[in-house]
Structure formats: structure tokens, C-alpha cells
């Protein structure tokens, strides 16, 4: 797959403080890539470097094969972005907003504007004033602006902010359609990790200014598919038996629950072994982890955004 965005060993220092360092990842063509991190992790700083708002101190960022340092103008032509809230003139119509943005870009026809309005399902309201739009419609108009220049990469920073469940679902479906029909790459930063899990192919997690993982969502979740919860008495005896087994890891007691990591296929044999050793097993279950569970574990429970 073609690499659309390449970030290599990026570092940003402001004053004497290192905000991020050794940041490296790629985004492929036709991929939805999630970028996650707790508050203060350096996520916003990284995004601002990607869209050219601030310069990296060290490292390289290339978009569509163009280096931001060496060919800034061409690199920026490869992306469309919404960082925080879309900049809209609420006293103008949706069409007038897109026309104004098209003038700044240059070379964009009315036919292209109409095509984009239809793509984001705003064609029936495009001549209404933006102040009459719902939050979801404003977000779609912002995305329409970002798409006018026919970018290879769409960068969305917290695109679900302020949207109700229907608006969030609509945005998710639109992104899937954009990737499927236009083969566009989409880079998303969001605090709604359930949405990230549903929509993203891969994710990167940044913590305290450093990358801690870049992985496919399904593979990341699979790493936690060996968690087991036992309710058994006496719990201390069961815990000792598990701790003595080399194939069992991370044994702990939380309240009346005995938690561990083990091969799921071995649950039945362990259940039999417990019973044979006078331990009453009241229940046992495989714990199903979500991306949010893993995020909290990897970042030690710090607030995410």
C-alpha cells in the first residue's frame, strides 16, 4: 500500500521543554488511522505539526511524498483538515462559505463545489445560512471545505465534538464511504474510543510525549484476549496454585475476583484441577477488553482526549 503520511523521529521542543520526541508512524492510502493520547501527551502538538501550524524541531514529516521542510506548499496541498472546530462564517450560506474557501485555494469550479456538497449530503441545504445548521451539518460543511482541494489525506481533530449519537453515526458512515469510494486516507484524533474502535484500521497511542504503540485495532485488542476472571473459594489457595504455574501470568485479587492471564484453552483443565484440590469454582469467564480498556491500561488510567 502507498504511504500517504510518513512521520519519522519527530521531536518538538518549546523553550526548554520537550513536548514530543521520537514520534514515528505511517498512514497508508485508503486507511483510517486513529491517533490517541491522554491530555497533555503531545497529541495536539503533533497534529499542529502535521497541518503546518508549527514546525518540528527534529525529524521529518512527508505528505504524499513531499517533505514539509523542503516542499511545504506541495505537502500542504495533499491534506484537508479540521483542527478543533471548523472555521465557518455563520452569517453566510453554506454555498457562500465553500465559494469563499474555494477562492483562497484557487482553480476550483462551481461543479466541484456542488459535487462536494452532495458528497457530504448538504446539497438540499447548501443555500441556507450556516447559522440555521445543526452541529452535525456544520461539521459536514467543515469537512466539505477540507475536501475541496481533492486531498489525499483528511485530518480530523475531535470530529465528534458536540455531535449527538445520530450525528456521530452519520459521520462514521460518511468516513467509511469516503475511504471506500474515494480511496482517501483519514487521520482521526478522538476521545470517543468506542468510535475509534469501530472506524479505524490502525491506531497510534502517544503518552508523555512518546509513542507507546502503533498497531491494528484488532491485533491490539487480541493482545488482551487471554484475561480470565475466577470466582473461587478459598481464593488464596487458588491464587497460590496459579502463581506456581509458569504458563499463568499477572495473577491478582480484586475484591472477590481472581484475575490472571492464561491460555483460554486451558480454562477447563484448570477448573478440573481446582476442584481436585478442594477449591470451589463458582464462576469463570474470559474477560472481553475494548480499545478503551486497553488505552486506560497502557496510559495508566490518565484522562484521555
Respond yes or no on whether the N-terminal peptide bond of residue 234 is cis (omega within 30° of 0).
yes
Q: Residue 302: what pLDDT? A: 55
Contact 258, 287 (CB under 8 A): no
Where the chain has pLDDT below 50, the residues are 305
Distances (CA, A) of 66 to 22, 93, 106, 154, 180: 20, 35, 20, 16, 24
CATH code assigned to 226-288 = 3.30.70.100
73, β-bridge pairs: none
Task: Mark out the alpha helices in the chain (DSSP H runs).
Answer: 43-50, 72-77, 94-105, 110-119, 135-147, 165-182, 193-199, 217-222, 235-243, 267-276, 291-298
Query: Could you tell me the CA-to-CA distances from 164 to 129, 169, 202 in Å, in that order?
Result: 21, 9, 25
What the block records as the C-alpha cell of 50 is: 502535521
Q: Round to whole Å and give the CA distance between 304 and 247.
A: 33
The per-residue pLDDT for 160 is 85
Q: Which helix (DSSP H) or strand (DSSP E) does residue 12 occupy?
A: strand 3-14
Secondary-structure class of domain 3-221 per CATH: alpha beta
Angle, helix 110-119 to helix 135-147, in steps of 10 degrees: 140
The reply to whether 3-221 and 226-288 are identical in fold is no
pLDDT value for 129: 97
Dump pLDDT digits (tens) for 32-54: 999 999 988 999 999 999 999 99
Provide the residue ranges of all domains of the chain, joining segments of one domain with +.
3-221, 226-288
**Is residue 129 within 8 Å of residue 121, measured between CB atoms?**
no
Cα 95 to the center of its chain, rounded Å: 30
Amino acid at each position: 500500500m502507498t504511504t500517504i503520511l510518513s512521520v519519522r523521529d519527530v521531536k518538538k521542543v518549546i523553550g526548554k521543554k520537550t513536548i514530543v520526541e521520537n514520534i514515528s508512524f505511517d498512514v497508508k492510502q485508503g486507511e483510517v488511522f486513529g491517533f490517541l493520547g491522554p491530555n497533555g501527551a503531545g497529541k495536539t502538538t503533533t497534529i499542529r505539526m502535521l497541518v503546518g501550524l508549527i514546525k518540528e524541531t527534529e525529524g521529518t514529516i512527508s505528505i504524499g511524498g513531499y517533505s514539509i521542510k523542503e516542499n511545504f506548499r506541495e505537502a500542504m496541498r495533499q491534506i484537508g483538515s479540521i483542527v478543533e472546530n471548523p472555521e465557518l462564517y455563520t452569517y453566510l450560506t453554506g454555498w457562500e462559505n465553500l465559494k469563499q474557501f474555494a477562492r483562497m485555494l484557487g482553480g476550483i469550479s462551481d461543479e466541484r463545489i456542488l459535487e462536494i456538497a452532495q458528497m457530504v449530503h448538504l446539497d438540499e441545504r447548501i443555500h441556507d445560512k450556516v447559522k440555521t445548521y445543526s452541529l452535525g451539518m456544520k461539521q459536514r460543511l467543515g469537512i466539505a471545505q477540507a475536501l475541496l482541494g481533492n486531498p489525499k489525506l483528511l485530518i480530523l481533530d475531535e470530529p465528534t465534538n458536540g455531535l449527538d449519537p445520530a450525528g456521530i453515526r452519520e459521520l462514521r458512515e460518511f468516513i467509511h464511504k469516503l475511504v471506500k469510494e474515494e480511496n482517501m486516507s483519514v487521520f482521526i484524533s478522538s476521545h470517543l474510543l468506542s468510535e475509534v474502535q469501530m472506524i479505524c484500521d490502525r491506531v497510534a497511542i502517544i503518552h508523555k510525549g512518546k509513542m507507546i504503540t502503533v498497531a491494528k485495532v484488532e491485533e491490539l485488542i487480541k493482545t488482551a484476549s487471554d484475561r480470565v476472571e475466577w470466582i473461587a473459594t478459598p481464593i488464596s489457595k487458588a491464587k497460590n496454585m496459579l502463581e506456581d504455574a509458569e504458563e499463568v501470568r499477572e495473577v491478582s485479587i480484586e475484591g472477590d475476583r481472581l484475575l490472571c492471564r492464561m491460555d483460554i484453552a486451558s480454562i477447563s483443565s484448570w477448573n478440573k484441577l481446582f476442584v481436585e484440590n478442594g477449591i470451589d469454582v463458582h464462576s469463570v469467564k474470559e474477560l472481553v477488553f475494548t480499545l478503551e480498556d486497553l488505552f486506560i491500561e497502557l496510559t495508566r488510567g490518565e484522562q484521555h482526549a
